[in-house]
Amino acid sequence: MDLEFNKIEDAMRLAVSQMRQRHGVISMGGGKKAIEKAREKGKLTPRERIQYLIDKGSFFTEIGSFAGYEMYQEHGGCPAGGTVAGLGYVSGRMCVIVANDNTVKAGAWFPITGKKNVRMQEIAMENHLPVIYLVDSAGVYLPMQDEIFPDKEHFGRIFRNNAQISAMGIPQIAAVMGSCVAGGAYLPIMSDETLMVEGNGSIFLAGPYLVKAAIGEDVDIQTLGGAKMHTEVSGIADYKFKTEQECLDAVKRLMDKLGDQPKAGYDRIKPAMPLREPNEIYGLVSPQNNKNFDIVDVIKCIVDKSEFDQFKEDYGKTIVCGYARVDGWAVGIVANQRKIVKSGKGEMQMGGVIYNDSADKAARFIMNCNQKKIPLVFLQDVTGFMVGSRSEQSGIIKDGAKLVNAVANSVVPKITIVIGNSYGAGNYAMCGKAYDPRFIYAWPNAKIAVMGGEQAAKTILQIQVAALKSKGETIEPEKEKALLKEIMDRYDTQTTSYYAAARLWVDEIIDPASTRSVISEGLNAANHARIEKEFKTGVFQV
């Protein structure tokens, strides 16, 4: 290992350590006082509930832990979007678990909470996975009701999805461990089975205060919507339990009896570890995304036996395509190349740029994977498509459109990992969030934007300076320099992996060393849903 490798490794490990520290703060939810208050009521935290629920020794793939990160500060923040969610194994069955965090504003729904819950339901529908809801929520966060209540991706979409998931034959189980108020009351009742914890669990359209204001009736919570009332009088709930642990044990027993469903049948053999040391991945990609590296080295840290069969290896070198296995699963990998190479065009630095031949190659490879029913893994480190008169005359838009067409119409599962830059149309061509990857993850160093910070800042500055000149005004060089820095700082903040994860542009920020395991878990999830569409690319220019 050389000195440069060691420097990059140290910097990446530091970035991972920072990510873990931030996650540690997020995992405290509303803070120690709020947790202590919940414990006084006999409640577990949402993370404790999930750990008790899932099989011992199994892996919980958290999704959206950075949702809401550094958002809603004027409202006190919303750690993890007020919901802990992910993929877990319960009685041997992989399922989607969604747990409200009552320590964050009593589990109230912020705009990002709704978006996160809808995303989890999408994952359940796309991958045909059972859903377990651990309900403990005060309903919509009223100060922001206009941003969470009426639109297509807002609160009401949850219940629409409840109905659709049920119609698809996907089991839904709701364990009501706290409040379940107003519109939120529909979620457990639209699930297949509803379990309630006595004393803490409650379900009603309007709480005691609103009932008093609306019709003048004085009524306590338990009479209005407690576990005893709903299991003995209304018949809305199916089971009641004295403790959360008893309730979660019952969920396990219900999951244990689910019938098996046909699988998609993606090829998997006995897994084998990479021959290359997996932790070497830390020293390959600079956290600043400013060093050249060979993407094949990264791939060999991830795939079984470090075996990677390249497709058209000597053609279209700015994108690397090929077949491999990840934890036994057969995959097709599409990855951007950054290193300097020699070709018929002379020596050129890749920098993650997509050229005509690369776009053409990748499109063909994606079509092949759909033909063979092989899931796709995209490793994004892309600065966009090549620009300039030569590229335009060669038809870069046409070739780029061909690649976007193939990605958009692909029917095999797609899993995307942003390992570096993700700029402009390159984000689309390499299966960004808008192109429906089953799962999309980012390394801590990832940057997602319409273009790089420096290029964007200079472009914005040029526009502003031109506007001033058109008015007969001038700008001093020092002021221009300060303005450029201000624009760059603001732009750089908006391109980080944390900014993206806060808004759920990516499902989670991951440790690079976890790339292999999250891909495997994603493929395991995807294997639960059979392909029901025929692969068609539609019309494109050749």
Q: Return the pLDDT at 389.
A: 81
Q: Return the pLDDT at 164.
A: 96
User: Left (φ > 0), alpha (ψ -120 to 50) or beta: where does 84 sit?
Assistant: beta
Q: Return the pLDDT at 471.
A: 80
Please state, in angstroms and as integers, the Cα–Cα distance from residue 26 to each residue in 101, 108, 144, following that order: 11, 16, 22
Residue 241's SS3 state is strand
Q: Return the pLDDT at 388.
A: 79
Residue 365's SS3 state is helix
Residue 154's SS3 state is coil
Entry pTM:
0.93
Q: Return the pLDDT at 290.
A: 86
Q: Return the pLDDT at 341.
A: 54
Q: Cβ-count burial of 256 within 10 angstroms (0-12 exposed, 13-18 middle, 19+ buried)?
A: exposed
Sites in the chain below the pLDDT cut of 50: none
Q: Return the pLDDT at 286.
A: 92
Contacts 24+ apart (CB under 8 A), 11-16: 11/286, 11/287, 11/288, 12/282, 12/283, 12/285, 12/286, 12/287, 12/444, 12/445, 12/512, 13/282, 14/287, 15/287, 15/444, 15/445, 16/282, 16/444, 16/511, 16/512, 16/513
**Which tokens go with 509?**
């920020």
* Residue (of 518, 512, 439, 511) closest to 22 by Cα position: 511
